Structure 1
Amino acid sequence: MTPVGTELADRILGGWLGRIAGNMLGKPVEQGDHWTRDRIDRYLRQAAALPLTDYLPEPVTADGGPDDGGGEFELRPEWRQCVRGRIHGSCRDDDVDYAILGLDLLETHGFSFSTEQVGDLWLLRLPYLQTFTAERAAYRNLANGLKPPLTATYENPYQEWIGALIRADVYGWTSPGQPRRAASLARRDAVLSHTGNGVYGAMWAAALISAAFTAPTVRQALDTALTVIPASSRLARTVRRVLTLHETRMPWEDTLSTVGEETAGLGWIHTIPNAAVLTAGLLYGDGDFTRTITLTVRGGLDTDSNGATAGSVAGVLCGAEAVPSQWKDPLEDTVRSAVFGFDGVQISELASRTVALAEAET
């Protein structure tokens, strides 16, 4: 088990490193309707990479030779920048862009920011073509002059998808041990583009990260996070289902198969099935950083988003010093970002700016 961190600055840096490393781990197989759990593990077996303890390996053919992808095991086009041995700094990705944008939001407007100010910052800092699903619908609505909450509901079929959840980390990092405050901040951001379980997912994730600063175990952090969303919501019921199956000592694979059947039909980018994969990765990872992010990514669905959030929670729990070197060293303390003014920023700088916000509110 990875040791638990103690210093605020180390834990916040651990959260940033964990988010970026988990995102990079899952990015090559981010296509949940193709990259199922079974296909991911068959890919890893073919590359002799199980158990998974590092970034994904390069594609190999059945006889063990190099492969440029294609067919059943075709990786996303960005794979050459985010597989082991080829990583030199983090790739650009919306899962990291939104953490950066959230930091800029809090630095610019403070913790009393409005939902309208979130939208204004998107238009100022974020390129339209680097938004997807619910965020793109909301961005289009903003550009057409609509105001929240209409930005979330007008011609937006993605209202309960995972986008708001991936924007929540900064609210947890800047509210250490204050899960309700973190959830409230995340909700104010989320309602720009999401409704229902899409908003609850953001509140849950922010509270989970906040709770990880003070909870002695990941299970207790998960229990705390459930207290900020309606107990009758489908998200809460699904998370509780994973907790119950884990308590029965059901194997990880069987837990995901069971919950996968129960959430079938929602799609691979919907908040609820992804929250189940994330919860299972955290529980069965049992506080070990490497096991947590690798199990989460092997769980499939929105692999880079789930890996990023799992890495954020695990990184906060253990702190940056305890994040194994194979995950943090290739990042070279550098982030590529589409957020205007932040491309090439140092991870350590992002973390120190986040610490300043967190300390200003404690």
Structure 2
Amino acid sequence: MDPIVKYPDFTQLDALSTPLREYARLKCEQGAETGAAALIGQLTETMRCTVRLLQELPDDAALSACEPNELDAIRALRAPAQRRLWEALPPEDIWMDKLEGALLGRIIGCLLGVPVEGLSVESMRAWSEYIGKPFPPVSYWEEVQNPELWNCYGRQRGEYRKCALRSAPVDDDLAYTQLALLILEEYGPDFTTEDVGEAWKKYLPVACTAEQAALDNMKKGVPAREAADRDNPFCQWIGAAIRSDGFGWAAAGLPELAAEMAWRDARLSHRRNGIYGEMFLAAAQSAAFAVSDPLDAVRAGMAEIPRECLLYRDLAWALEHCGAVRGHGDARRLVDERFAGMHAVHTNNNLCLIVFGLKLAEGDLMRGLSQTVAMGLDSDCTAASAGSILGAVLGKSAIAPELYECFHDRMDTYLKNTEAFSIRDMAKRYSALAHKVHSRL
């Protein structure tokens, strides 16, 4: 299967990085530090020049026309679809069961994926065999590798073990769901990209890749609408997609509006398929409340992005191949073949894994999450998003209580000036936002 995008061969570049550094160190140790420093300086300048030349390469005009960044242009390129699935929220008991299911599904999926994020399928399988547990996992990981190590959020890896769960520990896949709530409450459903930027500067102490690039740019005085355009090669990675849930929940049953909210959020840090990833997932999560088949939510999400963009074509490919996927191994093999050379935290490859995970769930949230985590790549992101969609379709009543009772209604955070959120209170606040959105229609 030929990949739709063909990347340069980075094999030699990667292979040379270690001997380059180590020979430079060795020559310094042997008294040739002046010559080593000069050569490294020359290479550094050559690399800077190459980066500039890469930035200046003209994009393919035809593909650019299929992948606009502005909302009106995006909407002009969508496939026909039903863009409002609910005229009003359902009865309160049904609605809250679904909303709490979506929130808990996201938390559970995230925490199932965190301990093995970035590991290969083979490494996950070997670790499961080592600790004597089944693979794919059937519950939270009872042991994690390097439990004493600290992550960038100030937590030790050991805190994510099943036996250590006393709350839902911090992770960016959960923090941005908390942040979306604050943005919607403080600025209202008509918030702007500038409002998102202000909220980031107010609440985010740390970020990664595209989000960090946008934060850094804003701190230098770059306007919010331009913050994604400078020193940001990560603008099509998965960072925006993981921020989508809150907008899907606040606009439940209204996928077009959910996608619009996601667009306003995503454009702060992402471009093109990075934006579409958040729009797609927000619309899919919105639609998930109103459908019985999670793949119907996928189709609703696809209808909100340009039908000729790379992400739409990749998602259509995933739907076409769902019948050939019998388990996590099939899914990962197909994705590796199609996306050879793509970074492991890119939007497109990971969102295709989500589609396969939703198919493999077969109406069982834990099975869907287990299979999704076992596919690898950015496993906490993929499982969290799959959990949000499955939780909205199935409801909290379909989730085994032992998967969430261990949280004791507490969701920790690394956002500034806050230690934790009540999970029940968070659901009530999102419900209030959804009622506000629907009352304006």
Question: CA offsets, 1:71-111, max 9 Å, x none?
Answer: xxx99773311122221101111111111111011101111
2:274 to 193, 198, 202: 198
Residues 1:50 and 2:137 are matched in the alignment? no
Residues 1:21 and 2:108 are matched in the alignment? yes
Aligned CA distance change for structure 1 residues 242 and 272 (closer, same or farther; 3 Å): same
C-alpha displacement of 1:21: 1.4
Counterparts of 1:43 and 1:143 in 2: how far apart (Å)? 42
- Give the corresponding residue for 2:422: 346
C-alpha displacement of 1:252: 4.1
Instruction: Summarize the alignment of residues 142-221 of structure 1 with structure 2, pairs less than 5 Å apart.
Output: 142-221=218-297
Aligned CA distance change for structure 1 residues 15 and 249 (closer, same or farther; 3 Å): closer
Task: Give the conservation status (yes or no) of the 8 Å contact 1:25–1:83.
Answer: no
Task: Give the conservation status (yes or no) of the 8 Å contact 2:210–2:239.
Answer: yes
Residue 330 of structure 1 aligns to which amino acid in structure 2? Answer: C
Residue 234 of structure 2 aligns to which amino acid in structure 1? Answer: Y
Counterparts of 2:197 and 2:270 in 1: how far apart (Å)? 13
Partner SS for 1:265: coil
- Give the corresponding residue for 1:280: 356
Bigger relative CO (Cα 8 Å, ≥ 6 apart): 1
Task: Identify the range of structure 1 (253-262 vs 172-181) with the bigger mean alpha-carbon deviation.
Answer: 253-262
Residues 1:240 and 2:325 are matched in the alignment? no
C-alpha displacement of 1:181: 0.8
1:97 to 153, 175, 194: 175
Counterparts of 2:377 and 2:237 in 1: how far apart (Å)? 12
Counterparts of 1:284 and 1:320 in 2: how far apart (Å)? 19
Instruction: Summarize the alignment of residues 63-82 of structure 1 with structure 2, pairs less than 5 Å apart.
Output: 78-82=156-160
Partner SS for 1:345: strand
Partner SS for 1:247: helix
Counterparts of 1:139 and 1:68 in 2: how far apart (Å)? 30
Residues 1:356 and 2:426 are matched in the alignment? no
Question: CA offsets, 1:263-289, max 9 Å, x none?
Answer: 121111110111111111111112211
C-alpha displacement of 1:337: 0.6
Residue 58 of structure 1 aligns to which amino acid in structure 2? Answer: E
Counterparts of 2:250 and 2:310 in 1: how far apart (Å)? 27
Residue 108 of structure 2 aligns to which amino acid in structure 1? Answer: A
C-alpha displacement of 1:319: 1.5
- Give the corresponding residue for 2:207: 131
Aligned CA distance change for structure 1 residues 68 and 168 (closer, same or farther; 3 Å): closer
**For the aligned residues, what is the CA RMSD?**
2.0
1:291 to 367, 388, 410: 367
Task: Identify the range of structure 1 (154-163 vs 17-26) with the bigger mean alpha-carbon deviation.
Answer: 17-26
Counterparts of 1:243 and 1:114 in 2: how far apart (Å)? 33
Residues 1:120 and 2:204 are matched in the alignment? no
Aligned CA distance change for structure 1 residues 75 and 151 (closer, same or farther; 3 Å): closer
Residues 1:323 and 2:399 are matched in the alignment? yes
C-alpha displacement of 1:47: 2.5
Task: Give the conservation status (yes or no) of the 8 Å contact 2:147–2:158.
Answer: no
Task: Give the conservation status (yes or no) of the 8 Å contact 2:357–2:369.
Answer: yes
Residues 1:87 and 2:172 are matched in the alignment? no
Task: Give the conservation status (yes or no) of the 8 Å contact 1:213–1:316.
Answer: yes
**TM-score, scaled to structure 1:** 0.90
Residues 1:36 and 2:149 are matched in the alignment? no
Residues 1:10 and 2:94 are matched in the alignment? no
Task: Give the conservation status (yes or no) of the 8 Å contact 1:256–1:280.
Answer: no
Question: CA offsets, 1:25-61, max 9 Å, x none?
Answer: 111112x2xx1122112222332322521101215xx
Residue 174 of structure 2 aligns to which amino acid in structure 1? Answer: V
Task: Identify the range of structure 1 (198-207 vs 79-88) with the bigger mean alpha-carbon deviation.
Answer: 79-88
C-alpha displacement of 1:316: 1.1
Aligned CA distance change for structure 1 residues 198 and 324 (closer, same or farther; 3 Å): same
Instruction: Summarize the alignment of residues 258-269 of structure 1 with structure 2, pairs less than 5 Å apart.
Output: 258-269=334-345
Aligned CA distance change for structure 1 residues 198 and 295 (closer, same or farther; 3 Å): same
Task: Give the conservation status (yes or no) of the 8 Å contact 2:362–2:368.
Answer: yes
Residue 261 of structure 1 aligns to which amino acid in structure 2? Answer: E
Question: CA offsets, 1:184-235, max 9 Å, x none?
Answer: 1001100000001100000011011011001121121111111111121111
**TM-score, scaled to structure 2:** 0.74
Residue 399 of structure 2 aligns to which amino acid in structure 1? Answer: V
Aligned CA distance change for structure 1 residues 267 and 6 (closer, same or farther; 3 Å): farther
Task: Give the conservation status (yes or no) of the 8 Å contact 1:19–1:308.
Answer: yes
Aligned CA distance change for structure 1 residues 335 and 252 (closer, same or farther; 3 Å): closer
